[in-house]
Amino acid sequence: MAISKSDLDLIKAALAEDLASGEDITSVATIGADAMAKADFIARKSGVIAGIEIAEAVLREVGLSEITRVKADGDQVKAGDILLSVSGNTRAILLAERTALNFFCHLSGVATLTSAWVKELTGTQCQVRDTRKTTPGMRVLEKYAVRMGGGTNHRMTLSDAALIKDNHIAAAGGVVAAFAKVRQLYPNSEIEIEVDTLEQLRDVLPQRPDLVLLDNMSPAQCREAVAIVNGACKLEASGGIAIENARQYAESGVDYIAIGALTHSAPVFDIGLDLRAE
């Protein structure tokens, strides 16, 4: 991935948060200003990594330049694998350590969880998609991590496409009225609409939606929805889906399952930094 200005701004903010306009008093007290070291970022478990370039950008932000990527984003790694190595000023390495790991561990956690969901759907035509349930300020990075885990992205922003949800439907006076209002004002936008009954699905189909979100329906209801639609539009299932029943939803014939947990509930992937004094 290319490091953007917003990524750099986020990195700078994270480092500033750590220092709070002061200095690393522990490192200043225990490590000489000219001390040099080599350090390795090492996986403590097996999984899929993401964020290695962000970790590298953190290292560069504190003045380190001798950096070697051993692995790449999207790689499947195992416990003990070296992912990234850095040589340089010891204080600088330790200044960057926690910020780099915060990004690296979180994004690798998202990628690893996504890969587990993707594995459950192997052999089906269904894809795993993320949602907008992302950490404020980290949406681009978290959605990137989803892709590294083999998942696909839903819209990035509210302006990318229309997603007519239950509150929009209630405010507009029904699924047909809500859809018509969006189509009239944004005729060239992709429109997805949420339905929570098969009756609503039948009502909205003549409006020719691009995608229909089946909210909190069972695999059996999703299978019936697939039969009703008969290829007229794509279908996405959301709500009530756990990794244990994901395959049942995929085998119903829906095109996507939307999983907010990919970003809002991914366990941190354990990566450590081991320092070796030179």
Structure confidence by residue, pLDDT tens digits, 69-127: 999 999 999 999 999 999 999 999 999 999 999 999 999 999 999 999 999 999 999 99
| pLDDT the model gives residue 276 | 85
Query: Choosing from 12, 44, 165, 276, which is the catalytic residue?
Result: 165
Which CATH code is given to the segment(s) 119-264?
Answer: 3.20.20.70
Query: Choosing from 7, 73, 130, 194, which is the catalytic residue?
Result: 194
**Annotation says 165 is catalytic:** yes
List pLDDT tens digits, range 31-65.
Answer: 999 999 999 999 999 999 999 999 999 999 999 99
**Annotation says 181 is catalytic:** no
pLDDT confidence bin for 277, thresholds 50/70/90: low
Residues 226-237 have a mean pLDDT of: 97
**Annotation says 45 is catalytic:** no
Nearest-angstrom CA–CA distance, 260 and 215: 13
Domain ranges of the chain: 5-111+267-277, 119-264
| pLDDT the model gives residue 144 | 98
| Residue 258 reports pLDDT greater than 80 | yes
| pLDDT the model gives residue 93 | 97
| Residue 239 reports pLDDT greater than 70 | yes
Q: Which of 247, 194, 198 is nearest to 221 (CA)?
A: 198
| pLDDT the model gives residue 278 | 59
Query: Choosing from 56, 130, 215, 236, which is the catalytic residue?
Result: 215
| pLDDT the model gives residue 219 | 97
**Annotation says 130 is catalytic:** no
- What are the tokens at 66? 């001798």
Residues 232-259 have a mean pLDDT of: 97
Q: What angle do CA 275, 103, 256 make, to 5 degrees?
A: 140
Q: How long a stretch of residues is the chain? A: 278
Query: Choosing from 69, 133, 234, 247, which is the catalytic residue?
Result: 133
Determine how many CB atoms are found less than 10 A away from the CB of residue 117.
23
- What are the tokens at 189? 């936008």
Residues 6+ apart with CB under 8 A from 190: 161, 162, 210, 211
In this structure, the strands spanning 36-43 and 82-89 are antiparallel
pLDDT confidence bin for 2, thresholds 50/70/90: confident
Which CATH code is given to the segment(s) 5-111+267-277?
Answer: 3.90.1170.20
Query: Choosing from 98, 139, 183, 247, which is the catalytic residue?
Result: 98
Residues 213-227 have a mean pLDDT of: 98
**Annotation says 143 is catalytic:** no
Residues 234-256 have a mean pLDDT of: 97
List pLDDT tens digits, range 126-185.
Answer: 999 999 999 999 999 999 999 999 999 999 999 999 999 999 999 999 999 999 999 999
Residues 197-206 have a mean pLDDT of: 96
| Residue 254 reports pLDDT greater than 80 | yes
pLDDT confidence bin for 1, thresholds 50/70/90: confident
